Structure 1
Amino acid sequence: MKTLLTALTSGGKQVVLTRQWSLVNLREWRKNETFHCPQCKEQVLLKVGDIVIPHFAHQKQTTCRDSFSEGESPTHLLGKIQLYELFSRLQLPTEMEPYLPDIRQRPDLLVTWRNEQVPIEFQCSTIPIARILERNAGYDTVNMTPIWIVLTPQKVQDSSVFVLTHRFTQFQQHFIRHIHSHTKEALSVFITYNPLKQQFHYLSHFIHLRGTAFVVCHSVMRSAHQTIPFAIPATPSIKDIEELTRQYQSARRKYLRSVIGYNQRGIHHRFLRACYELRVQPIQLPAWIGVPTFGQAAFTESDSEWQLLLIAAIRHTRNTPFQLNRSILHSFVKTFEGESSRQLEACQSYVDFLKERRIDIYRLDQFMGKDFVLEILSGRFLAMHAKN
């Protein structure tokens, strides 16, 4: 059955079911009033139970072509109501479930901010990625940039720490916002909302570990404290950056210790073969191989792996980072899956790091100060927020 939170009365007045309506008043009201779908104008039922959130529902045999979502969960309905109340409290013109005829789409909310209409989508369930891309493309044709808010994952809800490791599913990765700063690196933010506790959970300042795993900053904001546009997470404190560094280095050590024991391909594995040819054990890699430089998330592999392979490729040409021909980088990224343009940027950033530190890539025993990863991350985040 089609569910919605907006309807028209018999007199044509729009009704939005927020929490200001008591169950008693709604039950009394429906005795003397009829309600109609804002789109197809067919009569809808006002459903008022003791457990389920009050809502309007189409009849099962509706002819409404552009009807509302099928069977929205109570969590989704509650979240939409709370977000509507939030924007209304901030005195922003807000429409609940408006139909956009030019693109035949209906966002959960449409908020007008600084003369711009911003669709808000509260996503509680996993849907095909193709549908997300299709909806984004539709908004783009009418010059709208949607903000997607995802239901807070249970692991994040249960966590009270400020720095945590999170594996982002392919689905979740499509909702990461990239807020551009004056630097070449954008601030990545994953906004989630928990209607039961009326809390926003932010995951930000992503540092890629391996595959879909990232170490991130985790902050919580009560709905009552939210602002528009959505608050940008603050710069991590020195203590937070130290914890980000510790978790990054811990993941690096764990990967290097496990790569032999868990790999059945042995010397046929590119990383292990490179270690063999360079006469170095994985766990003995110098600290300057496996560092969180700009753009590292372009590779799904561990930083230790792709950076060692890049060192091996440069050494094979008998050049140094100062003599590097960019064609070498183009040939290198072709051997990896992923977006080559982003991978080229990551490689160039790592080469720049090697040059700045004046690292001799032919000496794998070259010493590095123990705090240089902390320095990298501190500079990275401070620069990102300097003029944001």
Structure 2
Amino acid sequence: MLTALNANKQLFVLKREYVRDQLLELRKNEQFYCPQCQESVQLKIGQVMIPHFAHKKQSNCQQAFSEGETTIHLLGKHQLYEMFQKLQFKVQLEPYLPKLAQRPDILVEREQQQFAIEFQCSTISIPQMETRTIGYLQANIIPIWILKTPKHKHPYKDGVQQIKLSPFNQQFTTYIQKHAHIITFDPDTAVFLYFSYLMPIEGYRFIAHVQHLSMGNQQFPFLQVKEPTEVEFNIYWRLWKKARQQFLDKRLLISKKGVQDPFLRACYFMGNQVEKLPLFIGIPVSNKVNFSVFDAEWQMLWLMFLYEQGFDLSHISSDVIDGFRKRFPILFINEKAVETLQNYNEILKKLGVRQINSDFDEIALYQYLYAQFLAKG
């Protein structure tokens, strides 16, 4: 903890300007208490860790169970708190919210709206994030989760590029006007790193617009990201086509199921070579991962299913989609997959595609995806 109550029950903040001798004097002459449970807490002044307050052993306080913060987390909270002070917002560090029994890292107030800033350096489960997020929203507090910038073998450069995001990192995705973004912060460099306009490729791989922003240039609210230009989208387009072709070229080689592989069987059944599938198979329909396989796989299986059942794209009922789900239940990760499937049908109809061997205009596909990519919602 970086905050505690003094003997007069006034909130005391361990600011970074305190020198070691001042802190030693405080520890000698002052008594501090947890704002949540009112138990006595210790002022820790080590050689490695940032000075902080900690409960004594065997404490029953809920806050005590969340202690053991890393130096980087304490430093990040300090920096973010100071940043909001410089931006002249009403800001509180580690305030205890009794109605929620929660302590956000930072609470910011802007135009009578409160924001809970959570700087996450350690692993947290989706249910935990959801519970805390729901608690804030029910109290009319907007939660903002900031992920510690993930380590990478090579420093990220600004611009459009292919990146990898672990399932843990993906938990921090925020959707602004239906576009996916992740904001991260690195206390070591005092720099924010934005992964914006995320386009899923497969598994951990995404195409994203990467942008660094120094703390001194940060504003609030966050995520004021400019939409990609057509030149930048053209990079998305080329990276996506390259990743799609690489997947198809390797797909036949990596399959261990042989003719039992549903995707390969669909290609053989429809008379198509895996590496030469038309470009409308593998379209990035959603910015969320809603299917358990690469886009080309579920789209190929869908077109095969329609062909087997004697349907074309002019009339697709909910019963047809339900039949597909029963045939391939393992493909569907969540309910959003159905919406993605419906959107895919709409794209094919706009392209004039009625079956797998239909002629289509690649320029029209490019223009349609570009328009959808910039859509505001």
Q: After TM superposition, is the score higher than 0.5?
A: yes
Amino acid at match of 1:211: G
The alpha-carbon deviation at position 301 of structure 1 amounts to 1.5
Of the candidates 342, 353, 357, which is equivalent to residue 348 of structure 1? 342
Partner in structure 2 of residue 357 of structure 1:
351
Partner in structure 2 of residue 256 of structure 1:
248
TM, length-normalised to structure 1 = 0.89
The alpha-carbon deviation at position 195 of structure 1 amounts to 0.5
Supply the RMSD in Å over aligned alpha carbons.
2.3
The alpha-carbon deviation at position 173 of structure 1 amounts to 2.5
Q: Is the CA contact (8 Å cut-off) linking 2:351 and 2:364 kept in structure 1?
A: no
Q: Measured at CA, do residues 156 and 244 of structure 1 come closer, stay the same or move farther in structure 2, by a change above 3 Å?
A: farther
Of the candidates 73, 76, 82, which is equivalent to residue 76 of structure 1? 73
Partner in structure 2 of residue 327 of structure 1:
319
Of the candidates 122, 130, 136, which is equivalent to residue 133 of structure 2? 136
Of the candidates 211, 214, 218, which is equivalent to residue 206 of structure 2? 214
Work out the number of aligned pairs and report it: 375
Structure with bigger RCO (C-alpha 8 Å, 6+ apart):
1
Partner in structure 2 of residue 113 of structure 1:
110
Whether 1:170 aligns to 2:167 is yes
**CA offsets per residue over residues 68-117 of structure 1, 9 Å max, x none?**
62210000000111111111222222111111222222111111222122
Q: Is the CA contact (8 Å cut-off) linking 2:3 and 2:11 kept in structure 1?
A: yes
Amino acid at match of 1:289: I
Of the candidates 362, 367, 370, which is equivalent to residue 375 of structure 1? 367
Whether 1:47 aligns to 2:44 is yes
Tell which deviates more after alignment, 245-254 or 156-165: 156-165
Query: Mind listing any 5+ residue stretches in structure 2 that lack a counterpart?
Result: none
**CA offsets per residue over residues 125-178 of structure 1, 9 Å max, x none?**
113333223322333442333111111101288211422333333322222111
Partner in structure 1 of residue 309 of structure 2:
317
Partner in structure 2 of residue 12 of structure 1:
9
SS of 1:44's equivalent in the other structure is strand
The alpha-carbon deviation at position 344 of structure 1 amounts to 1.9
Q: Is the CA contact (8 Å cut-off) linking 1:161 and 1:218 kept in structure 2?
A: yes
SS of 2:293's equivalent in the other structure is coil
Q: Is the CA contact (8 Å cut-off) linking 2:164 and 2:206 kept in structure 1?
A: yes
Q: Is the CA contact (8 Å cut-off) linking 1:333 and 1:343 kept in structure 2?
A: no
Tell which deviates more after alignment, 237-246 or 250-259: 237-246
Query: Mind listing any 5+ residue stretches in structure 1 that lack a counterpart?
Result: none
The alpha-carbon deviation at position 367 of structure 1 amounts to 5.3
Q: Measured at CA, do residues 373 and 20 of structure 1 come closer, stay the same or move farther in structure 2, by a change above 3 Å?
A: farther
Alpha-carbon distance in 1 for matches of 2:285, 2:39 = 58
Amino acid at match of 2:208: V
TM, length-normalised to structure 2 = 0.91
Amino acid at match of 2:17: Q
SS of 1:297's equivalent in the other structure is coil
Whether 1:336 aligns to 2:339 is no
Partner in structure 2 of residue 103 of structure 1:
100
Alpha-carbon distance in 1 for matches of 2:374, 2:124 = 36
